[in-house]
Amino acid sequence: MPKRTDIRRILLIGSGPIVIGQACEFDYSGTQACKALKEDGYEVVLVNSNPATIMTDPDFADRTYVEPITPEMVERIIERERPDALLPTMGGQTALNVSVALAERGVLERHGVELIGASIEAIKKAEDREQFRQAMWKIGLEVPGSGVARTLDEANELVKRFNYPVILRPSFTLGGTGGGIAYNREEFEELVRHGLDASPTSEVLIEESVIGWKEYELEVMRDKLDNVVIICSIENLDPMGVHTGDSITVAPAQTLTDKEYQLMRDAALRIIREIGVDTGGSNIQFSVNPRNGRMYVIEMNPRVSRSSALASKATGFPIAKIAAKLAVGYTLDEIPNDITRKTPACFEPTIDYVVTKIPRFAFEKFPKADPTLTTQMKSVGEVMSIGRTFKESLHKALRSLETGSSGFERVVLQRSRVGTLHAPTDVEKDAILSWLKTPRAERIYYIAEAMRAGIDVAKIHELTGIDPWFLNNIKEIVDLEARIVEASASGGLSSELLRNAKEWGFSYEMLSALTGDDVEVLVKRGSEAGIEPVYKCVDTCAAEFEAYTPYLYSTYERPFYNITTGRSRRAECESAPTGNRKVIILGSGPNRIGQGIEFDYCCVHASFALREEGFESIMVNCNPETVSTDYDTSDRLYFEPLTFEDVMAIVERERPYGVIVQLGGQTPLKLSVPLERAGVRILGTPPDSIDIAEDRERFDGLLDRLGLKRPESGIARSIDEAVSVAGGIGYPVMVRPSYVLGGRAMEIVYDEPSLIGYMSRAVEASPEHPVLIDRFLEGAAEVDVDCISDGGVVVIGGIMEHIEEAGVHSGDSACSLPPYSLGADVLDEIRRQTRELARELGVVGLMNVQFAIKDGTVYILEVNPRASRTIPFVSKAIGRPLAKLATKLMVGRTLEELGVTEEAKPSYISVKEAVFPFIKFPGVDTLLGPEMKSTGEVMGIGMDFGRAFAKAQIAAGNTLPLEGCVFISVRDEDKAAVEGVARELKEMGFSILATKGTARYLTQRGIEAEMVYKVIEGMRPHVVDRIKSNEISMVINTSFGAKSVEDSYSIRRTSVEMGIPYFTTIAGAHAATCAIKAIKKEGLAVRTLQEYHAGEAALPGTG
């Protein structure tokens, strides 16, 4: 059945900012969908507020709206675009929820928009817990005993029928927000309250616990002729109780007999049919009782999901692309399998390797967050790895994580001098056992440690619930480790032992740690024994058919030979490097705070640019969520860890013209010096310049040479030194370890005791790295500049003025391009300094500089001669693909040739706003500081600052109020500045509630303000009571000093939990006021990125 011709224009909704539970996998799916639909001649209208996505590149959709994904805004887009159809299944829960809202409001019907991919009925049946349960019963499948409660009383009534523990899940939330496990009545009531709040429908599902059962997922696809195929089975290593997004997962399922697997498959087919997902992909989760095989259905996502991205990368079957084709009427048998070409997409992929996914967490950013893994997702990213065996794949995944792990490091036990382990003490054993009982991010290391301590697999299974199959594989690794240690102590590793270790995924770095031999020595020994990695293809079919797409992973295999053609003993390698001119792009690894989708965006652009320049593009990355790891993004894809060993092996195989390290963030950057030392050509800015920028002393020398200023600073290697340096500079000071990402462990300290406290923590954390101490420029304006250079000419990409003052990490600060308050002379000075720096550092490619401006003086805070997090935002704001241009410069083009010699000066304003995960971490303070905490970002574009900022706020989920009561409480220094804000709010009809001092200050100046108690004052109702009873619609609260910060914590926390916008800086409050005014005065209109770039946005009635 061919594609539909009765629809022409299709609206595609993205997933918005990266948040926990919804990351760049939806950029991957949306980008695939865009490409697939355009390929078939449909006109694609896209809405997504996330500028860091590839899908929002103006080249992808026909018309791209970087606008908030709210029903109101999308309705405006529908009114303007009149699409024939809406595809709601590519943008995660966000797109699904907005689509449901649009349908319920009658918008779709009113404008004749057909929902394709999944009907409202199907979405509701899958998403509404009660309807889903009924549906499962109808088709004879079991679900855990459960019920839905809408009030606490209902919940208490319901729970009487079950045994504790019970699981709570609020309806219609993503990543299990507000869910959890209750082991007793008290915990239960707390979670019910939390869950009812978190659910947009005020419903919470209460389930009998299946904690400890095995967890499986199937990825299912169906076409309109009712052909159904399973793309992939996934088995979770962590049993039920840990959110699947936080679990280590493995594909394919390992421990099901065929009889059990086929019953699960039958169930999946019945489910997708009963729920009525007519076309496209779904993800279905099952749990299985390990004692008797009894199977429960847990849930179904009637859309592409994080797991479908994983399944796509794990099998080579592009689920989102095929789902898009099915949505427009194709059937599975009409769509070719891109990888084999000769066979159709209508089949079930089979694999001949093991895929392991490990989530990446960011608890170090939120020290107060509970690191226990539960049914609410907490991870911020993930890695995937491919190996021929589980052992190899698990090892590769561990070193892909970018946590400094090169395998199963020891975490409790120490090795004695001779390399053997001492007998574990009782204290050590207890420490290990307690780690096993509670699922946490690092538990996998403690499992290995438990084995080293002699704790048997049965005991570990009992404590963790992890299937003995996985545990025994880890045990085999630990046993081999012991043999390696033993062998090296008694004369060295035999080549057979070394081969075995490499086959099981041991890295040379780990082997070096175990044997005490240098990595180079071991590598040489391996290579002399013919132990070298080979590359195998991910081909969807376990080699049954020839693969045409070079999607590769490394492994160690044994050689074979043919006696008639002579004994050339080589292991088979399928990489078949071409003789083309080629460039390797090193990707950015797992998403984490400080290094996210922005860098993947840059790498993808590099790939496109290389193709345009006639180079073969080779991508290396290990993040399954990304566009960069799509098999058709680059000419060749190596799905590999980004360690020196793994990268070098690829370089040796491919022999590229050069390697690009400056686009993937810190991960590849770390490799630049070692790679260069190994004789690899690093394209663009020389690695030495990176070193100059990172090395404090060399950097100071550079600034001196150029006559540029930076805040006074010093370096301390001890507490005493720190005290004396800080004393000399004067408090407050900014302190941080010398080599950091995303402001890791960076703090502002206001006095000596805090400094001593910080030093005792930080220096302990990294003894070999000194601590940097800078004068903190309080109240300074901060500016980010991205520029591009070909080594001669430097062109400013964009100047972004932060909304928040200095002290808030640039990744967490909102910013405006162009700047909204700085004068022309300051901007010119910033341009001049940027150019000087770029020239002096010999930048070829991108460079980012952070400036602080205080009292008219420009200070340099930081220089990064590489792509920054803001590159995608700037590229979209100015209409120039900076990463792509930079790549072309790296392979020899000049800016003049590319026609980029002048700074672009857009006529509209673009505002970037950060998005935070605070809602997922109860108990964590939401106050911003120099340590980055945001997971994602949004962009708002408007013809003036107010409207651009308003859009950015709405897109970030901060619903700015148009009426009601604003709470204001500011420190004395801010009182004068807040006066204007308060007056404007008052004029717009808001009432004002303020704490004593602020209320008095405002009232004295003729601004009526009602007084409210601080929490600390001990009188009720205090401000938090008023927030909780929904009397306050916006919060403005600045604080200073530890006590004040602590006092105001509950205000910020309650605001987050109640979903009330809050501003902790005067600048933020001012911008918000501006935005409210703009909305009230003119409303918000929608425009496409293409219109903005063409200068066509400023039409009558525009936003």
Partner 1 sequence: MVQGMKERKRAILALADGTVFEGYSLGAEGEVSGEVVFNTSMTGYQEILTDPSYRGQIVTMTYTQQGNYGLNPEDIESWRPWVEGFVVKEPSLYPSNWRYLKGGETLDEYLGRNGIVGICGIDTRALTRHIRESGAMPGVISTVDDVAENLVEKARSIPGLLGRDLVREVTCTEPYTWDEGLWNIEGGYGTGRAGVRHRVVAYDFGIKRNILRNLFSAGCDVTVVPADTPAEKVLEMDPDGIFLSNGPGDPEPVSYAQESIRKLMGRKPIFGICLGHQLLALALGAKSFKLKFGHRGGNQPVKDLTTGRVEITAQNHGFAIDMDSMKGVARLTHVNLNDNTVEGMEVREKRLFSVQYHPEAAPGPHDSSYLFERFVKMMEG
Binding residues among 949-1008 for partner 1 as defined by CB under 8 A: none
Distance CA 856, CA 60 (A): 42
Shortest Å, Cβ 354 to partner 1: 6
Contact string 261-300 vs partner 1 (x = CB under 8 A): xxx-xx-----------------------xxxxxx-----
Shortest Å, Cβ 389 to partner 1: 5
Residue of 110, 138, 368, 558 interacting with partner 1 (CB under 8 A): 558
Provide the strand spans (E) within 962-1043.
965-969, 991-994, 1010-1011, 1034-1037
Q: Provide the angle, in degrees to the nearest 10, between the axes of the packed helices 687-694 and 696-706.
A: 90
Residues 223-262 that bind partner 1 (CB under 8 A): 225-227, 229-230, 233, 252-262
Buried b vs exposed e over 1025-1041: b needs ≥16 C-beta within 10 Å? Answer: ebbeeebbbbbbbbbbe
Shortest Å, Cβ 801 to partner 1: 55
CB closer to partner 1 out of 329 and 596: 329
Shortest Å, Cβ 543 to partner 1: 4
CB closer to partner 1 out of 350 and 374: 350
How many residues touch partner 1 (CB under 8 A)?
Answer: 74
Distance CA 683, CA 672 (A): 10
Contact 401, 409 (CB under 8 A): no
| Span near partner 1 by CB under 8 A; candidates 45-53, 417-425, 553-561, 668-676 | 553-561
CB closer to partner 1 out of 35 and 461: 461
Helix ranges (H only) for 362-494 are 390-400, 426-437, 443-452, 457-464, 468-489
Contact 755, 749 (CB under 8 A): yes
CB closer to partner 1 out of 329 and 590: 329
Residue of 349, 465, 942, 961 interacting with partner 1 (CB under 8 A): 349
Shortest Å, Cβ 281 to partner 1: 16
Site membership for partner 1, residue 403 (CB under 8 A): no
Residues 564-603 that bind partner 1 (CB under 8 A): 564-565, 571-572
| Span near partner 1 by CB under 8 A; candidates 48-56, 405-413, 557-565, 649-657 | 557-565
Q: In the numeric block, which tokens belong to residue 280? A: 């496209």
Contact 11, 97 (CB under 8 A): no
| Span near partner 1 by CB under 8 A; candidates 344-352, 429-437, 596-604, 1048-1056 | 344-352
Q: In the numeric block, which tokens belong to residue 1088? A: 């496409």
CB closer to partner 1 out of 114 and 476: 476
Nearest to 882 by CA among 904, 862, 863: 904
Residues 440-499 that bind partner 1 (CB under 8 A): 457, 467-469, 472-473, 475-476, 479-480, 483, 496-497
Q: Residue 415 carries which DSSP code?
A: B
In this structure, are strands 249-251 and 228-236 parallel, antiparallel, or unpaired? Answer: antiparallel
CB closer to partner 1 out of 457 and 927: 457
Distance CA 228, CA 220 (A): 7
Residue of 189, 190, 197, 348 interacting with partner 1 (CB under 8 A): 348
Shortest Å, Cβ 322 to partner 1: 14
Buried b vs exposed e over 130-147: b needs ≥16 C-beta within 10 Å? Answer: eebbebbeeeebebbbbb
CB closer to partner 1 out of 301 and 473: 473
Q: Which residue has the tokens 């529908």?
A: 78
Nearest to 245 by CA among 236, 254, 253: 236
| Span near partner 1 by CB under 8 A; candidates 168-176, 340-348, 446-454, 617-625 | 340-348
Residues 793-852 that bind partner 1 (CB under 8 A): none
Shortest Å, Cβ 480 to partner 1: 7
Shortest Å, Cβ 557 to partner 1: 4
Shortest Å, Cβ 466 to partner 1: 10
Residue of 2, 41, 112, 344 interacting with partner 1 (CB under 8 A): 344
Shortest Å, Cβ 422 to partner 1: 23
Residues 350-379 that bind partner 1 (CB under 8 A): 350-354
Residue of 332, 690, 763, 956 interacting with partner 1 (CB under 8 A): 332
Q: Exposed, middle or buried by CB within 10 Å (0-12, 13-18, 19+), for 5?
A: exposed
Shortest Å, Cβ 353 to partner 1: 6
Residues 207-226 that bind partner 1 (CB under 8 A): 225-226
CB closer to partner 1 out of 521 and 543: 543
Shortest Å, Cβ 161 to partner 1: 23
Shortest Å, Cβ 255 to partner 1: 5
Task: Say how many C-beta atoms besides its own lie within 10 A of residue 908's C-beta.
Answer: 22
Shortest Å, Cβ 423 to partner 1: 22
Q: Sign of the C-alpha dihedral, residues 747, 752, 757, 763?
A: positive
Residues 1053-1092 that bind partner 1 (CB under 8 A): none
CB closer to partner 1 out of 474 and 841: 474
Contact 861, 782 (CB under 8 A): yes
Site membership for partner 1, residue 542 (CB under 8 A): yes
Q: Which residue has the tokens 């709570």?
A: 168
CB closer to partner 1 out of 344 and 753: 344
Residues 666-695 that bind partner 1 (CB under 8 A): none
| Span near partner 1 by CB under 8 A; candidates 59-67, 542-550, 606-614, 774-782 | 542-550
Estimate to the nearest angstrom the gap between the alpha carbon of 247 and the chain centroid.
16
CB closer to partner 1 out of 357 and 388: 388
How is 203-233 classified by DSSP, letter by letter? -EEEEE--TTSEEEEEEEEE-TT--EEEEEE
Residues 143-182 that bind partner 1 (CB under 8 A): none
Shortest Å, Cβ 140 to partner 1: 12
CB closer to partner 1 out of 48 and 540: 540
CB-facing half-sphere around the CA of 279: CA atoms within 13 A: 23
Shortest Å, Cβ 567 to partner 1: 9
Residues 29-88 that bind partner 1 (CB under 8 A): none
Nearest to 370 by CA among 381, 357, 361: 361
CB closer to partner 1 out of 355 and 785: 355
CB closer to partner 1 out of 44 and 471: 471
Task: Say how many C-beta atoms besides its own lie within 10 A of residue 717's C-beta.
Answer: 14
Shortest Å, Cβ 331 to partner 1: 8
Shortest Å, Cβ 333 to partner 1: 5
Residue of 106, 528, 560, 764 interacting with partner 1 (CB under 8 A): 560
Distance CA 792, CA 787 (A): 13
Contact 955, 49 (CB under 8 A): yes
Contacts 24+ apart (CB under 8 A), 634-639: 634/585, 634/607, 635/550, 635/582, 635/611, 636/550, 636/551, 636/552, 637/550, 637/551, 637/552, 638/535, 638/552, 638/553, 638/554, 639/313, 639/384, 639/385, 639/386, 639/538, 639/551, 639/552, 639/553
Contact 130, 154 (CB under 8 A): no
Provide the terminal-to-terminal Cα distance of the chain, rounded to the nearest Å: 43
Site membership for partner 1, residue 529 (CB under 8 A): no
CB closer to partner 1 out of 640 and 937: 640
Amino acid letter, residue 509: E
